[in-house]
Structure 1
Amino acid sequence: MKLVSPSANYEASYRQYIEELGNEERYPFPMDFDHADFEALIQKLSNFAQGKNLPEGFVPSSTLWLVDETEIVGVTNIRHYLNDRITHCGGHIGLGIRPKYRGKGYGKLLMKLSIQRLQEMSEGPVHIHCHKENSASANTIKACGGLLDSEIEADGKIVQRYLVKPGD
Structure 2
Amino acid sequence: MDKLRELKLEDEGAFRAWLAAWQDEPVQVSVTQPIQTSFPEFLQQLHQNSVDPKPPRVPATKYFYIDEGIIKGGISCRWALNAYLRNFGGHIGYGIVPAYRKRGIASEMLREALEKFHQRHIKRVLITAEVKNVASQKTICRAGGVYENTVTDPETGEALRRYWITLEKNSQCE
- On whether the aligned pair clears a TM of 0.5, the verdict is yes
CA distance in 2, matches of 1:20, 1:166: 33
Task: Give the letter for the 2:29 counterpart.
Answer: Y
In 1, are the aligned partners of 2:19 and 2:33 still within 8 Å (CA)?
no
1:62 maps to which residue?
Answer: 61
Q: CA deviation at 1:36?
A: 5.1
The match for 2:49 is 48
Structure 1 pair 117/33, CA: closer, same or farther in 2 (3 Å)? Answer: farther
Question: Do the aligned residues in 1 keep the contact of 2:75 with 2:95 (CA within 8 Å)?
Answer: yes
Q: Which runs of 4+ in 1 moved over 3 A?
A: none
RMSD: 1.7
- Look up the match of 2:112: 113
TM-score by length of 1: 0.90
Give the match's secondary structure for 2:93.
strand
Identity among equivalent pairs (%): 24
Q: Secondary structure at the match of 2:94?
A: strand
Cα offset for 1:31? 2.7
Other-structure match for 1:103: 102
Q: Structure 2: any 5+ residue segments left out of the alignment? A: 170-174
**Partner residue in 2 for 1:38:** 39
Answer yes or no: is the 8 Å Cα contact 2:74–2:96 preserved in 1: yes
> What do the CA deviations read for 1:125-150 (whole angstroms, capped 9, x no partner)?
11001111111111110111101011
**1-side partners of 2:84 and 2:153: how far apart?**
12
The whole-number CA distance in structure 2 between the counterparts of 1:103 and 1:117 is 23
Any gaps of 5 or more consecutive residues in structure 1?
A: none
Match of 2:29 in 1: 27
